[in-house]
Amino acid sequence: MTNFLSLADVTDLDALIQSGLDAKANPFASQHLGKNKTIGLIFFNSSLRTRLSTQKAAQNLGMNVMIMNVGQDSWGLEMEEGVLMNGDKAEHIREAAAVIGRYCNIIGIRAFAELQDRDKDYREQVMHQFAKYARVPIVNLESATRHPLQSLADCITIEEVRRADVSLPKRPKVVLTWLPHFKPLPQAVGNSFSEWMNARAQAGQIEFVITHPEGYELATEFAGTAPVIYNQQEAFDGADFIYGKNWSSYTQYGQVLTQDPSWAVTMEHMNRTNNGKFMHCLPVRRNLKVSDAVLDSPQSLVIEQAANREWSAQAVLKEILTSL
């Protein structure tokens, strides 16, 4: 694996999931791999789980970790080519990426969508510029349109539950549901989860369904051929996994079209499922998107899912280290 920017960088998803589960069972078994290797974690945006879990995973593998908050520890970076740099950005990504690439064996980057210009966000400029100029493997720590370390953790979590619960159907039903929120949020997690679940569905591992209010359709490249059901209750019928997430509109880009509170997941919603599990990538605003009762019920997987971020990152870093 040379980069981990999206699902397209994964050659064997089953093996990667298994590698994550192996890391969870035996975290320090590959500690020799990272000796005298350094990962740089570059944050253009805030982070809790990604910051800590990736750092932890790298340390489990024996790596050194260097963290930098862009615009706080350092200055802003110019992303556009050919411009006269007479504004507030003191350094160009060409130099910054190339230089960081000389100090690090692997670079992780977090850079959210700005939600102003859809074409710009979906071009994934920051990731691609880093991948182009850094000359070392790049790991996506959540980009404008994707969050693949989260999606891998989600796959690991679903696989864990499936192995533990023999009563689950051979192809459990996984439902991605939009949740209400007052702020415009990126589509990254919804996009990525769809991309990865579509792959799992095509491999015959699950059945995948998307539900959201009209106007919240994800980009076709992510939604794929998954059935979209605008009636949330109908979508929840017989579901084994409910995956909640808010995102702003893709078609009316970055807009909040509705905050309809009936889309927030409560126990009433969960009761329509097949004793389904509830998943969310966190952070989650309690009682706005999901009720306390759901989050504090045994059906909630959100903490285990977050815990699995460590093993997701470790599986990816291990594969990259092996190929260095």
Near its own copies by CB under 8 A: residue from 11, 25, 84, 298: 84
Which among 20, 52, 49, 14 has a CA at the least distance from the CA of 280? 49
CB of 288 to its own copies, least distance (A): 5
Query: Is 131 one of the binding residues for its own copies (CB under 8 A)?
Result: no
99 or 203: whose CB is closer to its own copies? 99
> 200-204 long-range contacts, Cβ below 8 Å, gap at least 24?
200/13, 200/155, 200/158, 200/174, 201/226, 203/13, 203/14, 204/171
- Rounded to whole angstroms, the Cα distance separating 109 from 116 reads 20
Q: Which regions of the chain does DSSP assign to beta strands (E)?
A: 38-43, 64-69, 77-78, 91-92, 106-110, 138-140, 173-178, 207-211, 228-229, 241-245, 277-279
Could you give phi then psi for residue 279, rounded to 5 degrees?
A: -125, 150
Stretch that binds its own copies, among 42-50, 145-153, 160-168, 221-229 (CB under 8 A): 42-50
Query: Is 99 one of the binding residues for its own copies (CB under 8 A)?
Result: yes
CB of 245 to its own copies, least distance (A): 14
Count, residues in the chain: 324
Near its own copies by CB under 8 A: residue from 8, 15, 203, 303: 303
8 or 99: whose CB is closer to its own copies? 99
Site string for its own copies, 100-119 (x = CB under 8 A): x-xxx---------------
CB of 135 to its own copies, least distance (A): 10
Query: Is 56 one of the binding residues for its own copies (CB under 8 A)?
Result: yes
User: Tokens standing for 312?
Assistant: 């997701």
78 or 195: whose CB is closer to its own copies? 78
Amino acid at 89: K
- Rounded to whole angstroms, the Cα distance separating 174 from 188 reads 18
Query: Is 52 one of the binding residues for its own copies (CB under 8 A)?
Result: yes
User: Tokens standing for 131?
Assistant: 């991948």
Query: Is 47 one of the binding residues for its own copies (CB under 8 A)?
Result: yes
Near its own copies by CB under 8 A: residue from 4, 43, 112, 236: 43
> 95-101 long-range contacts, Cβ below 8 Å, gap at least 24?
97/129, 97/130, 97/132, 97/133, 97/134, 98/133, 98/134, 98/135, 100/40, 100/42, 100/134, 101/133, 101/134, 101/135, 101/136
- Rounded to whole angstroms, the Cα distance separating 115 from 24 reads 36
Stretch that binds its own copies, among 12-20, 98-106, 202-210, 250-258 (CB under 8 A): 98-106
Query: Is 244 one of the binding residues for its own copies (CB under 8 A)?
Result: no
Stretch that binds its own copies, among 56-64, 150-158, 189-197, 214-222 (CB under 8 A): 56-64
Is the distance from CB of 157 to CB of 301 less than 8 angstroms? yes
Stretch that binds its own copies, among 74-82, 194-202, 224-232, 237-245 (CB under 8 A): 74-82
Amino acid at 271: N
- Rounded to whole angstroms, the Cα distance separating 66 from 284 reads 28
Stretch that binds its own copies, among 15-23, 146-154, 165-173, 283-291 (CB under 8 A): 283-291
Near its own copies by CB under 8 A: residue from 114, 165, 214, 292: 292
Which positions touch its own copies (CB under 8 A)? 27-28, 36, 38, 40, 43, 46-49, 51-53, 55-56, 59-60, 64, 66, 68-69, 72-75, 78, 82-86, 90-92, 94-96, 98-100, 102-104, 182, 282-288, 292, 295-296, 302-303, 306-307, 310
